[in-house]
Chain A
Amino acid sequence: MELLSTSLINWSRAQFAMTAAYHWLFVPLTLGLGIIMAIMETVYVRTGDEKWKHTAKFWQKIFGINFAIGVATGIILEFQFGTNWSNYSWFVGDIFGAPLAIEGIVAFFLEATFISIMFFGWNRVSKKTHLASTWLTIIGATLSALWILIANAWMQYPIGMKFNPDTVRNEMYDFWAIVTSPVAINKFFHSVLSGWGLGAAFVTAIGGWYLIKKRNVDFALKSIKVGAIFGLVSFVLLAVTGDGSGYQVAQKQPMKLAAMEGLYEGKHGAGLVAIGMLNPAKKSFDDGVDPYIFKIEIPKLLSLMGYRDINAFVPGIKDIVEGGYPTKSGEVPLSFEEKKERGQKAIEALANYQIAKKEGRDADAANFQKTLEENYAYFGYGYLDKPEDLVPNVPLTFYTFHLMVAIGFYFILMFAVVWYFEHKNKIQNTKWLQYVALWSLPLAYLASQFGWIVAEVGRQPWTIQDILPVNAAVSSLETSSVIITFAMFALLFTVLLIAEVTIMVKQIKKGPDYSDNNIEA
């Protein structure tokens, strides 16, 4: 079978990756800052303290700037499934389309409607209605994330569907299984919490900057107070849900886990690499080259995290390609070659089924359907060529994973210290900590991007795990068209990002509408 050119696939992937990465620069701040400003406004409504109102209003202004560009970068993602992943859209659209539609109907409208009251309603609706609108805006944004993450989780762990050979697609039969998928639930909490953590880091960083400049001190302290507690709670919970993610990945996407750890040869009681450096000389999974230049492991932790058993066997990349490694259930995993053979069998049976149906040979068709069903679990492997196709980019997955985890633990420490100093009223005079708070912000953005790189690069080559690889999912377009649209959007997004950052910097320099001079007023 003739497959589409590698450059078309790579550019289509690049376009999706670029737009998703840009979108995710803004979404986490929306999620995190949204809650923080809603908390601040709640304090205002409960205490009647005008200073909290101005604090909330200032962050709402920042929220609005960020929200606009988040919306701008989001629309292209939804439509790109059709424009660039046309086969994907038909093959799984029966399941995948539903959460996207629900997102629009129940979540995005909520957010877009109440945000207008939040912005324009200060003098037009009552205090309580305004507060409700602020909360509904962020609830809408969070629900939006929920449905998108349900859709994403389903790609990583497809359930609740059955293949229909007549329509040549997967069809949904269990909506609740999709919505309550353990992968979806874990992904939702982990992603939303990462937004909360980033929002907290943002507020704390800007608060730190005001303290360094010795201006708007009261505002800065209020912001840091909320930011530090919120950040500490978020990052502790991020560690918990991160552990949950690790467990889900081990169960459902062992290849991703192996890539995250640079684990080529599996073992019982595998350790988790705490610090390590990969050997760039390693070119293939079976070249015998030691994958590490050095590493420091925490013994047994990978087995514990992945299988809740310190002695469990964690398969490496080589094991997964070659099959036959021990599993908890006792089932013996197939090798890549065996899976590929069964995938090809399934695809061939589908073709024969179609022909038999057309020619009215119903008995033959029933036989082909049986063969198809028996081998469908490996359908996507039939589109792959060599074992290397099964292995994601190991260095990228490995480094982003470890840096994400390291930054996560760093933030637990940082927020604990900031909270302590704030609580003891010492942060105002602790210069170094103010600088630490400020300069930690880029780390939060990096960790947040890294998380998605682990999730998405780590699952290659699959758009739908085991069912549909990228080379069978892409639209039939000229590579040049995709390169041009990539360039168009890359340029536009970059320009808009620069504009967003410079606008924010100006707003922050301008500061909130109350200063220390009228604090006592």
Chain B
Amino acid sequence: MITYSFLQHYWWFIISLLGGLLVFLLFVQGGQSMLFSLSKSDDEKRLLVNAFGKKWEYTFTTLVTFGGAFFASFPLFYSTSFGGAYWVWMLLLFCFTMQAVSYEFQSKPGNFLGKKTYQVFLFINGVLGTFLLGVAVATFFTGSEFSVNKGNIAGLGAAGPVISQWQNPLHGLEALFNLRNWMLGLAVLFLSRTLAALFLVNRLDHPALEERSRKYVLYNGLPFVVFFLIFLIWTLVSEGYAVDPATGAISMEKMKYLNNLIEMPVIMAFFVLGVVAVLYGIIATLLKPKYSKGIWFAGIGTVVTVTMLLLVSGFNNTAYYPSSYDLQSSLTIQNSSSSEFTLSVMAVVSLLVPFVLAYIFYAWRALEKKRLSLQDLESDGHAY
């Protein structure tokens, strides 16, 4: 039966899945972050720009949809986190804004700032966009300093009518003073670079670049694994934010996230499967000189792993956006969700998602029948 609780879980799953897809698609950002280091000539750089330039809109659109879906399904997160951790989100948006014009504008005459500047924009988006997103997601496990008091709007609070109050004057930048947040930030940065390198191995018709990309899989895959494992183990053995399902009261529980994995074996199985797939994609590419399907394993593995990680943060009576300032203000999928009616309406809309994925798949295939070479840039008519 479709209960309110089912819908809340369903929507947390959709958000997690969108998060997973988003992190996978950050390979575009990862590629942007190696634009200068990976290429040895202007031609090579141009090929890289065009390889990622055909994909950036998917990442961008997923980010917008992720935001819209989060707003519609868990509006209290939208108001608390965006309105509170202001600087993290604003910097993130700022660097994505820089990205959106940079492909289209960089090679056009009269572009005012010059090609190099737009490539630097792409680089900034590549480094900052991935790192900050990782840091922001890490706070789902490490907590933030905020309070939520819905009575404020009726004048019951001393701080004025605003329901969600951030309690740290740095407005989100304080997340950078937490080492565990850095670990996930760096893990996402290096993961996106690893995925970018795997993507290039699969998509380029340019032996020298392909060879270098293989090396980059190693250079970036290794730090990714290290940072990710540190974050993962640290989180699994740390205290987590548990919700009492009867009262909604929140308390600290030892090894909460490890317990979540144990108590939800299906999620644990998929999580392990996802991690293995990512590792297989990386290792197979490193060991077999002709192997180019690594992006498939690592890509799908990324989607699955991140989705499961986010499910662990919100399922099994866990507060997904915890407040270390006031435990009881922590956001759970119960206390922050939209109404049952809205979640049902949106659930119907979500049935369109497979249809959307189908035409994206079709369009992707239509443009990717063969590997991209420098000659294609001339014949396609629309090149960056």
Q: Which residues of A contact B (CB under 8 A)?
A: 1-4, 57, 61, 64-65, 67-69, 71-76, 78-79, 81-91, 93-98, 100-106, 108-110, 112-117, 119-125, 129, 133, 164, 167-169, 171-173, 175, 347-348, 350-351, 354-355, 383, 471-472, 474-478, 481, 485, 488-489, 492, 495-496, 498-500, 502-503, 505-507, 510
Contacts and interface: CB of A to CB of B under 8 A. Distances in A.
Interface in B325-384: 338-339, 341-342, 345-346, 349-350, 352-353, 356, 359-360, 363, 366-367, 369, 379-382
B146 to A, nearest CB: 10
B161 interface: yes
Interface in B70-89: 71-73, 75-76, 78-84, 86-87, 89
Given A93-B338, A502-B111, A72 B101 contact: yes
Contacts of B69: 101, 104-105
Contacts of B380: 120, 122-124
A173 B80 CA distance: 24
Contacts of A125: 366
B151 A168 contact: yes
B109 A83 contact: no
A109 B341 contact: no
Nearest to B340: A171
Nearest to A477: B86
B104 A124 contact: no
A502 B79 contact: no
B352 A106 contact: yes
A112 B55 CA distance: 10
Across the A-B interface, give the 5 residue pairs with the lowest CB-CB distance, nearest first. A93-B75, A86-B83, A82-B82, A104-B65, A97-B72
Contact of A474 (B112, B154, B162): B162
Given A117-B367, A124-B366, A481-B171, A105 B339 contact: no
Nearest to B92: A79
A116 B339 contact: no
Nearest to A133: B363
Contacts of A119: 382
Interface stretch (B39-47, B56-64, B285-293): B56-64
Interface string B131-174: 00000000000000000001101111011111111100101000
Contact of A79 (B82, B151, B165): B82
Nearest to B368: A124
Contact of B101 (A61, A68, A83, A123): A68
Contact of B93 (A3, A79, A114): A79
Contacts of A492: 94, 97-98
A124 B339 contact: no
Contacts of A69: 100-101
A498 B93 CA distance: 21
A496 B111 CA distance: 9
Given A106-B352, A112-B61, A481-B86, A121 B366 contact: yes
Contacts of B75: 89-90, 93-94, 97, 169
B356 A105 contact: yes
A104 B101 contact: no
A103 to B, nearest CB: 6
A502 B111 CA distance: 6
Contact of B68 (A67, A78, A83): A78
B248 interface: no
B151 A167 contact: no
A73 B93 CA distance: 10
Interface string B211-243: 000000000000000000000000000000000
Interface residues of B, number: 83
Contact of A86 (B80, B96, B108): B80
Chain B contact residues: helix, strand, loop or mixed? helix
B103 interface: yes
A121 B66 CA distance: 28
A108 B160 contact: no
A72 B60 CA distance: 10
A96 B164 CA distance: 18
B39 to A, nearest CB: 21
Most buried by B among A115, A175, A347, A355: A175
6 contacts: A78-B68, A82-B67, A90-B79, A104-B66, A122-B381, A123-B380
A114 B83 CA distance: 34
B303 to A, nearest CB: 17
A378 B4 CA distance: 31
B98 A103 contact: no
Nearest to B63: A75
B176 interface: no
Contacts of B206: none
Contacts of B154: 168, 347-348, 350-351, 354
A505 B108 CA distance: 11
Contacts of A476: 83, 159-160, 162, 164-166
A495 B94 CA distance: 14
B342 A95 contact: yes
Given A97-B342, A101-B69, A348-B155, 4 more contacts: A64-B382, A104-B65, A108-B61, A472-B153
A93 B71 contact: yes
A78 B67 contact: yes
Contacts of A477: 83, 86, 171
A257 to B, nearest CB: 29
A171 B350 CA distance: 20
A82 B78 contact: yes
Nearest to A113: B363
Contact of B105 (A61, A65, A96): A65
B113 interface: yes
A510 B94 CA distance: 32
Most buried by B among A84, A86, A89, A96: A86
B345 A175 contact: yes
B377 to A, nearest CB: 10
A240 B163 CA distance: 43
A128 to B, nearest CB: 13
Given A86-B162, A506-B108, A106 B349 contact: yes
Given A75-B100, A171-B341, A502 B112 contact: yes
A488 B97 CA distance: 11
A109 B65 CA distance: 9
Contact of B82 (A86, A113, A120): A86
A68 B71 contact: no
B381 to A, nearest CB: 5
B90 interface: yes
B57 A475 contact: no
Contacts of B171: 477-478, 481
A84 B86 CA distance: 8
Contact of B112 (A75, A83, A97, A499): A499
Contacts of B352: 105-106
B9 interface: no
B110 interface: yes
A4 B98 CA distance: 32
A89 B83 CA distance: 9
A168 B381 contact: no
B93 A351 contact: no
B369 to A, nearest CB: 7
Nearest to A100: B68
A208 to B, nearest CB: 21
Contacts of A489: 94, 97
